[in-house]
Amino acid sequence: MEGICMEINRITPEDMQYTVRLSTIALKPKKLYYYGKMPEADERFWNSEPRYVFEGRGRPKTVAVVGARKCTNYGREQAYRIAFELAKQGVIIVSGLAFGIDSVAHRAALDAGGVTVAVLGTPIDQIYPACHNGLAQEIIEKGGVVMSEYPEWKEVLKDEKLTRMLQSQSGRKSAFLLRNRLISGLSDIVVIVEADLRSGSLNTAHHAFDQSNLVYAVPGDVTRMGSRGCNKLLGRGAVAFSETEEILLDLGISPEKIKSKKKEEAKGETEIETWILKKMEDGVLDGEEILEKIIEDGMKITASEFTTAVFDLQIKGRIKAMGGNRWLLIR
């Protein structure tokens, strides 16, 4: 596992920079180790009510977006949309830097020009998975934070008990589950996007319930294993996600403070671009299906012309590639 060549910051509950939210949870960390800079007051939230009386006004709102490592295209698209739209409003996105939903949420926040916080379940100088080292670096460079309750590995080795824990398979699993209390503890709201019945994301949701946080779950196909966890949460008090505006309102951001999210007219710079955008606005996200429906509607277009138009829309920031020839309309 690789780390980041940057100064490691250390804070305790006695330090002013120690996040107020974590000081209220059970098993609060005795120390936090982090790269980057802790978020400061944000004037966009100056008039929104703080959650706790001892919190200063202007504390940025935070939402955790977590879910399955092996996610579907649907899950990936929903996670990206949620994190992107929230980050556009100045909401800080919290997640765990894992494969799947976590990394999609971090990426969406960065693409939106927002700030995101990654909470590790490993020593601070061991980014996991190692292939996300670049993503972690970008999070820090763009004003975010990468944090852990475990010090750098050389310090871990000085603690025999902690070393044994982090070197054993069961111990590493426990570390990641313990990490989940920090993800929920840092967040005003937790959103679960795809989770099976044994998912660590459900553990995050349970911590959120214990911490009296609001939990949203993205409903899914009842026949899919990856949806059963979210659907089960809906029966235990989680709110079914439908629109990002609902989350913003639950964060205490009044409608007049929410930047207009009225849908732009689905109009491109060319006729082909306009047809593509309209089909995507109707919920068609698969490239081949978009082309088929455009042809069915009577437009004469070649596959080459379609590919060129899709590429141009991506360059212009109107759509986002989600992998597997699927595309997401960017508002």
Q: Read off the pLDDT of residues 281-319 as tens digits, 9 standing for 90 and up.
A: 777 678 888 988 899 888 888 989 999 998 898 888 888
Q: Mean pLDDT throughout 29-47?
A: 73
Cis peptide before 129, with omega less than 30 degrees from 0? yes
DSSP state of 121: S
pLDDT in tens, 1-17: 456 778 899 988 888 76
CA 177 to chain centre: 18
Predicted confidence at residue 54, as pLDDT, reads 39
Q: Mean pLDDT throughout 75-95?
A: 93
Given a cut of 90, is residue 117 above it in pLDDT? yes
Instruction: Classify domain 9-257 by CATH number.
Output: 3.40.50.450
Q: Which two tokens stand for residue 25?
A: 């949870």
Handedness of CA 122, 127, 132, 138 (dihedral sign): positive
Predicted confidence at residue 52, as pLDDT, reads 45
Predicted confidence at residue 238, as pLDDT, reads 94
How many Cα atoms within 13 Å fall on the side-chain side of residue 182?
Answer: 25
Predicted confidence at residue 46, as pLDDT, reads 47
Higher pLDDT, 38 or 147: 147
Instruction: Tell how many helices (H) and how many strands (E) occur in the chain.
Output: 12, 11
pLDDT in tens, 206-219: 999 999 899 999 99
Laid out side by side, the sheet with 32-36 consists of 9-11, 32-36, 145-148, 116-119, 92-95, 62-67, 189-193, 214-217, 239-240
Model-level pTM? 0.81
Predicted confidence at residue 159, as pLDDT, reads 93
CA–CA gap between residue 159 and residue 224 (Å, rounded): 43
Higher pLDDT, 153 or 21: 153
Contact 225, 60 (CB under 8 A): no
Mean pLDDT for all residues in the chain: 86
Predicted confidence at residue 142, as pLDDT, reads 93
Contact 112, 84 (CB under 8 A): yes
Given a cut of 70, is residue 258 above it in pLDDT? no
Task: Report percent pLDDT > 90 for the chain.
Answer: 49
Predicted confidence at residue 246, as pLDDT, reads 92
Q: Which residues of 184-197 are buried (b: 16+ CB within 10 A; e: fewer)?
A: bbbbbbbbbbbbbe
Given a cut of 60, is residue 259 above it in pLDDT? no
Say what the alpha-carbon torsion angle 14, 17, 18, 20 is, to the nearest 10 degrees. 110
Contact 159, 167 (CB under 8 A): no
Given a cut of 60, is residue 49 above it in pLDDT? no
Range with the poorest average pLDDT among 17-21, 170-174, 191-195: 17-21
CA–CA gap between residue 233 and residue 314 (Å, rounded): 36
Q: Which two tokens stand for residue 63?
A: 């939402």
Compute the residue count for the chain.
331
Q: Mean pLDDT throughout 49-72?
A: 73
Per-residue confidence band for 255, with pLDDT thresholds at 50, 70 and 90:
low
